[in-house]
Structure 1
Amino acid sequence: MSDRYGSFIQSPMGQTVAKNLGLPMPMKLDRYKKGSALAGGDVLVGVASGDDNKVSDAIARVVVEAKANVFVTKAGALKAKLDEAGAKVQEYTGGADKYKVTIFDATNIKNAEDLKEVYEFFHPIARRVEKSGRVIIIGRPPEEIEDIEFAIAQRSLEGFIKSVGKEFKKGITAQLVYVSEGQESNLDSTLRFFMSARSAYVSGQVVRVGAGESLAINWDQPLAGKTMVVTGASRGIGKSIAQTLARDGAYVICLDIPPLLEDLQKVAGEIGGASLAADITAEDAGEKIAAEAAKHNGLDAIIHNAGVTRDKTLAKMDEKRWDMVIDINLASIARVNKYLLDNNALTDNARIVCVSSISGIAGNLGQTNYATSKAGVIGLVNATAKQFAKSDQGMTINAVAPGFIETQMTAQIPFAIREAGRRMNSMSQGGLPVDVAETIAWFASPASGGVNGNVVRVCGQSLLGA
C-alpha cells in the first residue's frame, strides 16, 4: 500500500511545504538488505563511572564485528578490550563527528546523582546521531535490585530512552536493554538486532535479557538447519515472516486455512518450504503441525501469526464476532502450545513467538474483542515464560505487538483514521510487514536464549499506549 504523503515529503518541494506548515516529516528508514554492514557507520560507546565492567565484554564482542570506526569515552577497560579484539578504536574528544550507533553502559548508574552521567554523554551528541541512527542504553533490571537508590536510578532510564526516541526524530531509534547480573554473555543477539537496520521500526522499547542458553551461530545464516512453522503465512505479515525466516536459513512450514491453499503454496514454493493447509482452531491443529515438523527432525520454532479482526463497538457486537476473534487470536494458540509441549513436539531450545498488538496494550475503540484477545496473548507469554524459566530445555516465548503496519487490512481503514494511524508515532509513518518479521527472526534465533517473556512493540513508538 502506497503512502503518497510520505513519498511526497521525500521530495525537496515536499520538505519545504512540510517545514513551512509544521506538518509531519517522515524520514525514509534504512532497512536491512542481505549483506548490509552491522552498524552502517561510526559507533560511539560510553561507560558510566564505576567498577562494574561486565558489560564491556559483550559490547566489545559485538562492536568489533561491526567493522566500523569506534569512538570510546573514558578510555579504560572497554577500550582495552576493543584494542585487544582488533577494533579501529579512538578516544572520543568531543569533535563534530556523526555517529550511526551510540551505546551507553549505564550499569554503574546507582543513584539519582549518577544520572548526570547520562546527560553528560548524550547532551553533546544529541544533534550528531545520523539519520536512521541507533541509540542503546544498557542497564540492570530494577526489579532484581534490592538497593532502593540503585533501583530508582535504573528505572529512571526508561523515561529517558522513551523521550530520546521522540526527540531525536530523523528515523532514529532508541532502546533500553536491561541485562541481569551474570548474564552479560546473552547480550549479543539483542545488541546486534538493535544496532542494525533490522530494527528500523522498533523504538522506545525496554527489553530484558536474563538467564538462558544462547547458542553459537553463523550470523549470516542465524536460523540455518532450523524447522519453523508460521501460521497465517499466505499473505501480509505472515508471508513476510516466512520469507525472512527462510532468508536467514530456516526451513519454513507455511500454514493457513484450506481456502487460501493456492496462495500458501505459492509462498512456500518461493522460499523452498512446505505448505500445510489447516484450520488453526481445529482440535487436531497441534497434531497436524507436529506431524509435519516430525518429517524435518522436529519443530524448532512456531510463530503464532494467524489472526482476524471483526470490529464493532461492544453495544453492536454480536456473539459470533466475539467468539471468532477470541478463538482464532487466543484460544487456538493456547491449545496448540499445550499439545506441542505435552507431546514433546518442540526441540530443546525451541522458540515460540506470538503476535499481539498495541491494541492489546492500550485498547482501541470498536475492538473490545480484538484487544481482549491480544492482551490475552501477552498474558499467555508472561505465564509460559515463567514455566520455561524453571525448565532445563532452554525454550523461550516472546511476543511482538505491531502498531500501524501497511497491509491489505490497514488499506481498508477509512482515509482519515488511516492517516492518523500512520502519523501518530515517532517515525510519522506506518511500518512494513518486514519490520515485524525482522523482530520475530531475532526472537527465533538460537542466540536469543536469554530473551524470554518480552513483549516488543513494532510501532515506530506509537503515541497509542505510550
Structure 2
Amino acid sequence: MNDSYLNFVNSPFGARLARSLGLPKPEVLHRYRADRPEFDGLIAIGAGREPHLLDALANLVASVGMTSVAHESAGLWVPLANRHGLMTGRFEPAESGSHGKLTALLFDASGIEDSSQLEPLHGFFHDTLRSLGKCGRIIVLGRPPETCATPRQWTAQRALEGLTRSLGKEARRGITANLVYVEQGAENGIEATLRFFLSPRSAYVSGQVVRVGVRAGADALQALDWNQPLAGRRAVVTGAARGIGASIASVLAAEGAHVIGIDIPSAREALDSTMRQLNGTALAFDIAAPEAPAQIAAALDEQGVDIVVHNAGITKDKTIAKMTDAAWQSVIDINLSAQERIDDALLAAGILRDGGRIIGVSSISGIAGNLGQTNYAASKAGVIGRVQSMAPHLRARGITINAVAPGFIETQMTAKIPLTIREAGRRMNSMSQGGQPVDVAQTIAWLAHPGSAGVSGQIVRVCGQSLIGA
C-alpha cells in the first residue's frame, strides 16, 4: 500500500516544504536488496568495564567485512582487532568528520556490575550518535539480568533496556536501536542475531530486547552458507496465499528452504500461483477444521519439516457487547487453537524434526489490547503464552519457539482502515511510517536461522518501535 505522505516529504519539493513548516519527515528505510551489499561502512565500538564480548564482536566484524573504529571506552579493541587482522582505528569526537558517517554503533556492556559503572554508555553515545548516518544501527550487548550474580549487577543490566529504547526514540532518521542479552557460555552463538540487527533486514525492528541463551547446535556454524542458511530445510507457512504469508514464503525460499504453503481451499488459485513462483508445495486445508491436523501431518509425514510458521489469522472486530459467539470462537480457533492442535500433531509424530523452529505471528494488540478487538487481542496474547510456556518443554529436542508481533503493516487489510486511524497507525512509532510485509518475513527468517538456536521463548515486535505496547 502506498504511503503518500512519506513519498511526498521525500521528494525535492516536499522535503523543502516539510523543513519550512516544521513537518515530520519519515526516512525512506534502507531494506535488504540482493543486488546491494548487506554490510558496509564504518562501525564504532564502545565498551564498559571488563567487557566479555569484544572477541565475539571482532569475529562478527571480520565475518561481515566492515571497518571499525574504537571509542576511548573500548581501549582493548585496537589490539584485539589487530589480532583478528581487522582494519581499525580510534574514534576521535573532535575529528569525527574525518571518518565520515558511521554505519553502526556497538557497545559491549556485559561487564557492568553496578549502576555507578554505567557512565561509559553516556560517554560513548554522547560522542558518536551525531556521527551515525541515516538508517544506522545501534546494538547494545549485556548479560540477562535474571542470570546476574548480585542485585546490583541485575539492576545495572536492567538499566540497559531503558537506555536502548530511549536511543531508538531519540535517534530518528531511520536508525534502529536494539539490546541483545547474551547468557554466559552463549558467546559463540550470537553472530546470526547480530548480523540481523546490523543489516537492512531489520529496518523496521527497533527498541527490542532479545536474549540469546546456550543451546545445542549454537556453535556448529563453521560450514554455514550465510547467503543460503536454510538450504536443505523444509518450511511450512500457513496463510501463505497472499499478503504477509506470501512474503514469508518468498523470503524463506530465497534463503534456500523448500516451502510448503497452506491456505484455505477457496484461496487455492492464489496459493498455487505463489508456490509455483517459489518452486514450493501447495496444500489446501482449512486449519480450523477438526480433521486438519491429521491431514497436514499425513501430507508432511514422509519427509518431515524443520520450520513451522503459524501466520494464518483473521479479524472479526466488534466491541465485546456487540460481538457474537461465532465471531469470538472463529477468531480464537483460527488464530490460536488451530496452532496448538497442529503443533501437537507434528510434535507427537516427530514430523517436526529435532532442532526445528516454531514461529508464531502475534500482534502488538496481543501486548497492549485494542478497542473492538477483544477476540483478536486474546488470541494474539495466547500466541505469546504458547511461546513462553512451550519453550522450556521443547528445549530437550533442540526446538525453538518464538513469535513476531507486528504493528502497523501496509497490507490489503490495513488499506481498509479509515484514513485518520490509518495515518495514526503509521505515524505513532519511532520510524513515523508503516512497515512492509517483508519486514515481518525477514524477522521470521532470522528466527528460523540455524544460528538462532539460542533464541527461544522470545516475542519480537516488528513495529518501528510503536508507542503502543512499547
TM-score class, shorter-chain normalisation, is over 0.9
Aligned counterpart, 1:355: 361
- Whether the aligned pair in 1 keeps the contact of 2:61 and 2:67 (CA below 8 Å) is no
- Which residue in 1 is equivalent to 2:422? 418
**C-alpha deviation, 1:284, in angstroms:** 2.9
What residue is the counterpart of 1:71 in the other structure? 69
Is contact 2:48-2:118 (8 Å) kept?
no
Give the equivalent residue in structure 2 for 1:456: 460
Could you say what secondary structure the match of 1:364 adopts? coil
Alignment of 1:289 onto 2:296: yes
CA distance in 2, matches of 1:91, 1:284: 63
Q: Give the secondary-structure state (helix, strand or coil) at the position aligned to 1:29.
A: coil
Label 1:239 to 1:280 Cα distance change in 2 as closer, same or farther (>3 A): same
1:227, 1:293 within 8 Å by CA — same for their partners in 2? no
- Does the CA contact (< 8 Å) of 2:44 and 2:69 recur in 1? yes
Candidates 323, 329, 345, aligned match of 2:329? 323
Shift of 1:108: 1.4
Alpha-carbon offset, residue 87 of structure 1: 1.8
Tell whether 2:183 aligns with 1:180: yes
Residue 18 of structure 1 is matched in structure 2 by 18
What does residue range 45-444 of structure 1 map to in structure 2 within 5 Å? 45-50=45-50, 52-53=51-52, 55-74=53-72, 76-94=75-93, 95-96=95-96, 97=99, 98-212=101-215, 213-214=217-218, 215-216=220-221, 217-295=224-302, 297-389=303-395, 391=396, 393-444=397-448
Q: Which of 74-83 and 362-371 deviates more?
A: 74-83
Q: Deviations over 1:187-238 (max 9, x none)?
A: 1110000000000000000000001122422101011110000000000000
Instruction: Give the aligned CA root-mean-square deviation in angstroms.
Output: 1.3
SS in structure 2 of the partner of residue 177 of structure 1? strand
Query: Following the alignment from structure 1 to structure 2, what is the Cα–Cα distance between the partners of residues 20 and 465?
Result: 33
**Structure 1 counterpart of 2:449:** 445
Task: Check conservation: 1:353, 1:440, Cα contact below 8 A.
Answer: yes
Cα distance in 1 for residues equivalent to 2:89 and 2:178 = 24
Give 2:241's aligned amino acid: S
| Aligned mates of 1:288, 1:303 — CA distance in 2 | 17
Structure 1 counterpart SS, 2:312: coil
Q: Secondary structure at the match of 1:399?
A: strand
How many Å apart are 1:145 and its aligned residue? Answer: 1.1
| TM-score, scaled relative to structure 1 | 0.96
**More divergent stretch after superposition (14-23 vs 400-409):** 14-23
2:327 and 2:130 map into 1 onto residues whose CA distance is 49
- Code of the residue aligned with 1:162 in structure 2: it is R
CA contact (8 A) 1:37 1:66 kept: no
**Matched-pair identity in %:** 51
Q: SS at 2:262's partner residue? A: strand
Please tell me whether the aligned partners of residues 39 and 100 of structure 1 are also in contact (alpha carbons under 8 angstroms).
no
Q: Report the Cα distance in structure 1 between the residues aligned to 2:75 and 2:17, rounded to whole angstroms.
A: 48
Is contact 1:202–1:459 with CA below 8 Å preserved after alignment? yes
Q: Is the 8 A contact 2:235 2:309 kept in 1?
A: yes
User: Which amino acid letter does the alignment assign opposite residue 462 of structure 1?
Assistant: S
Distance 1:38 1:64, change over 3 A: farther
How big is the shift at 1:290?
2.7
Instruction: Tell me which amino acid in the other structure corresponds to 2:290.
Output: E
**In structure 2, the residue corresponding to 1:427 is in which secondary structure?**
coil
Stretch deviating more after TM superposition (26-35 or 128-137): 26-35
In 1, are the aligned partners of 2:190 and 2:451 still within 8 Å (CA)? no
Distance 2:111 2:256 in 1: 38
Runs of 4+ in 1 over 4 A off after TM superposition: 74-77
SS class of match (1:371): helix
Q: In terms of mean alpha carbon deviation, does 88-97 or 448-457 score higher?
A: 88-97
Secondary structure in 1 aligned to 2:353? strand
| 8 Å CA contact retained: 1:38, 1:195 | no
Letter in 1 for 2:158: R
Q: What does the per-residue CA deviation read over 1:314-369, in whole Å, with 9 as the maximum and x for residues that have no partner?
A: 11111111001000000001111111111111111100000000000000111010
Cα drift, residue 35 of structure 1: 5.1
**Partner deviation per Cα, 1:366-405 (whole Å, 9 max, x = no partner):** 101000000000000000112123x1x2110000000000
Gaps of 5+ in 2: none
- Measure, in 2, the Cα distance between the counterparts of 1:353 and 1:247: 18
**Matching residue of 1:6:** 6
CA displacement 1:281-310 (0-9 Å, x = unmatched): 122323333333334x31100000000000
Provide the rounded CA distance (Å) in 2 between the counterparts of 1:225 and 1:415: 44
One-letter amino acid matched to 1:46: G
Q: What count of residue pairs does the alignment treat as equivalent?
A: 461
